[in-house]
Structure 1
Amino acid sequence: MKFLRTWATPLTAGSFVVLAVTGLLMFFHLDRGLNHFAHEWLGWLLVIGVAGHVAANFLGFKKHISGGIGKAVIAAFILILALSFIQPEEEKRPPGWAQPVKALAFLPLKELAFVAKMSVEEVRERLEEDGLNPTSNEQSIKDLVGHNLRRQVGALNAVFPEESED
């Protein structure tokens, strides 16, 4: 158990500091650079550290959660976790960028080429490289991939590659 305590407690404390700071930055929309990445991926270190800490201090942990207050706190957090999966009605609407994507995906390839400032042949070539098989300039992205918004975005990303900002 001493081996667990030598690394589990410092790992728990250190990862908690990182997650607390990055979480607060994200909450106030002040996160920059790799803050979100660090928060998301270094959370695994907290999970590992807490698991080791609980294993090293299992008898004390068991004593704390066996009482009425311990059980109530654990039950409250289980309830909060369960409630966090509920999706409010207003959030079921598509994201704000969905309508422009759908509008572009509805355009015939010849019109999409005009918007993309390239030839229709280049648009068709890029779509073919992305695994799609356009057979007509009158087809749209929607015709090629269907109503799936993610697939429409993927196809449009093939047509409109990322550009560096001027």
Structure 2
Amino acid sequence: MKNLINRYATPLTTGFFLVSLISGVALFFHWAPGLFHGMHEWLSMVLLVPFALHLWKNWGPMVGYINRKTLFVPLLLSVLIAIPFAVSSTGGKQGGNPAFAAVQLVSKAPLVDSAALFNNTPDELVARLRQRGLAVTSSGDNLNQIAQSAKMQPAQLIAELMNDRK
């Protein structure tokens, strides 16, 4: 058993990590999510087995990290980075990317409230949007409504406004 662990723990961990890495990057960039979603979820679960074997094989060095107290800061940092993703709310469901939650908030806010994000007064933002040929009735409209009427995604409109702001 020990020979099996020594021979395959690290190569299996590396192989499944690479699969998880590639599928995770594909999911992040929305490349064929139907193809990668199930693969990423299931093979990430399978990764737990070689990870446990790898941990067992390398338990001595792991104890060294614990004794030198060099393991705690990276673990704490990892948890702190994960917390915003775990507690952010997007569309009523838990989890997700906080940046997507921010786009949702900005796109649903009336122009009178979101104009400052684009270094504009509400009237300037209305004028900028109208110059782009977009239908805006007042500063009470929001970017979500304006983008939908133009058959575009709100995030695309926000990106364009950020790129050409004054």
- Length-normalised TM-score, structure 1: 0.48
Structure having the higher Rg: 1
Query: Structure with the greater relative contact order (CA < 8 A, sep ≥ 6): 1 or 2?
Result: 1
